[in-house]
Amino acid sequence: MDSLGWWQEDNHSYYVSRLYGPSEPRSRELWVDVAEANRSHVKVHRILSNTHRQASRVVLSFDFPFYGHPLRQITIATGGFIFMGDVIHRMLTATQYVAPLMANFNPGYSDNSTVAYFDNGTVFVVQWDHVYLQGRENRGSFTFQAALHRGGRIVFGYKEIPMSVLEISSSQHPVKSGLSDAFMILNPSPDVPESRRRTIFEYHRVELDPSRIASMSAVEFIPLPTCLQHRSCDACVSSDLTFNCSWCHVLQRCSSGFDRYRQEWLTYGCAQEAEGRTCEDFQEEDHYSSSPDSSFGPSEEDLTTTSSSLFIDSLTTEDDTKVNPYAGGEGLQNNLSPKTKGPPVHLGTIVGIVLAVLLVAVIVLAGVYINGHPTSNAALFLIERRPHHWPAMKFRNHPNHPTYTEVEPSGHEKEGFVEAEQC
């Protein structure tokens, strides 16, 4: 164990990771003792604590910045990780995760196994307590946690790791430790099969050395500044970050073009908009128009670059699915028309009333259709944008993919929780 009594620091562009071995005092300082926390802040998830391969959404009490994106809703999985995406899908274990130790854990094996979380307004902690590996229960139980701090810091704490992580099989479930984020590209073209219209691209991953994960070790991730933090054109273009930050005037956003807002970045032609133009140019345009120009749209060159550069090492062979690097790069152009002056006021009023009536009728009909077809394109479209207002998506068992089931409808998390007496 003495060989693990060290700490190491690595820079991962978006985060700096610090690994502390069992003999380092810092590893004990980073552990959050959930058992001693205010019991009103601690919840034991009754369903996750008694099931295998299931996940449940939880709403945080604060906005947590993940890769620069403020998140308020996360999904806790029995398999030792937190899914950070907006839309639950069969690639649950592939991207967009915070994984202290992702593996084939089955909390339902033992009455002593629990999945609990703690939220006091400044830190959110998920603890997998005395959980066993499916099929390898004789190797002992694991106890570890992931802490999401309000400022964006992430901490993995390992209390009991009874075996080497290198010995854990990934044949039935991916085995990972680290962070990942991705963006989704939507292809609305009717010529593309529905199963291939939504493609996820992982643009960054942090992988920890599994040989360094041991009992009483810890990992601390310190977030680094991103382009998204800049709120003005001047601050964006003068940024000295390692990212190539560009200002998109039509979206009023600073970005490298590779984040969760990639779809909008392409749709509004942000990469082309910034070429050879200054902040003064944008300010002058404000005197003429404030609407997006119809010529702004994703170019074929941008889409090709996205597909080829991000897929090279985004997924390992043990992931539950593979991303098609060419499926999401077409059909993204939107015909955005500039605003025009309307007709006389009285005619506009009449037209507005008619449109309002038609809109109400469409909403009612859409609600009836979506209620009867929860897996339709319309339902998925709304789930992506307002996930907390729609029922949870169910996963079908697939012989070649380790799928998860979301156990509760979104917005009703508290029904499955009881106060923790011990964790």
**How does pLDDT run across 169-201, given as a tens digit for each residue?**
999 999 999 999 999 888 877 887 776 777 889
| Averaged pLDDT score across all residues of the chain | 77
Task: Out of 242-251, 314-323, 413-422, pick the least confident.
Answer: 413-422
Q: Tell me what pLDDT residue 131 has.
A: 98
Task: Give the pLDDT of residue 396.
Answer: 36
The pair of structure tokens assigned to 129 is 């307590």
List, edge to edge, every strand of the sheet that includes 417-419. 7-11, 15-20, 217-223, 154-160, 142-149, 123-131, 114-119, 42-45, 417-419
Of 215-229, 272-286, 350-364, 394-408, give the lowest mean pLDDT range.
394-408
What's residue 5's pLDDT? 52
Residue 238 in contact with residue 230, Cβ under 8 Å?
no
Structure tokens belonging to residue 55: 């996940």
Percent of the chain at pLDDT > 90 equals 51
Give me the pLDDT at residue 372, please.
54
* Residues 6+ away with beta carbon under 8 Å from 152: 64, 65, 66, 223
**Residue 124: its pLDDT value, please?**
97
Give 232's pLDDT tier (boundaries 50, 70, 90): very high
| Cα torsion 53, 59, 61, 64: sign | positive
> Does the pLDDT at position 267 exceed 60?
yes
Instruction: Show Cβ contacts of residue 396 under 8 Å, excluding neighbours closer than 6 positions.
Output: 403
Report, as an integer, the average pLDDT of 417-421.
30
Name the pLDDT band for 37 (thresholds 50, 70, 90).
Answer: confident
pLDDT for res 33: 92
pLDDT(261) > 90: yes
* pLDDT band at 11; cut points 50, 70, 90: confident
* Helix, strand, coil tally for the chain in percent (to 5): 25, 30, 45
Question: Is a pLDDT exceeding 80 seen at residue 378?
Answer: no
Q: What is the mean pLDDT of residues 128-150?
A: 97
pLDDT at 105: 98
CA 387 – CA 392 distance, rounded (Å): 8
Residue 389 DSSP label = G
Residue type at position 24: E
Q: What is the C-alpha radius of gyration for the chain, rounded to an integer number of angstroms?
A: 24
Average pLDDT of span 310-318:
31
Residue 345, pLDDT above cutoff 50: no
Is residue 83 exposed (0-12), middle (13-18) or buried (19+ Cβ within 10 Å)?
Answer: buried
Instruction: Tell me the per-residue pLDDT of 127-136, one tens digit each, with 9 for 90 and over.
Output: 999 999 999 9
Which of 166-170, 370-374, 409-413 comes out lowest in average pLDDT?
Answer: 409-413
Is residue 89 within 8 Å of residue 76, measured between CB atoms?
A: no
Q: Are 219 and 155 in contact (CB under 8 A)?
A: yes
80 with 131: CB under 8 angstroms?
A: yes
Mean pLDDT of the 316-330 span: 33
- pLDDT of amino acid 276: 73
What whole-number distance in Å separates Cα of residue 69 and Cα of residue 126?
Answer: 20
Q: Specify the DSSP element, H or E, that contains 283.
A: helix 279-285
Q: How confident is residue 357, by pLDDT bands cut at 50, 70 and 90? A: confident
Per residue in 83-110, pLDDT (tens digit) is: 999 877 766 788 999 999 999 999 999 9
pLDDT range class, residue 369, cuts 50, 70, 90: low
Number of other CB atoms surrounding residue 41 within 10 Å: 18
What percentage of residues in the chain have a pLDDT greater than 70? 70
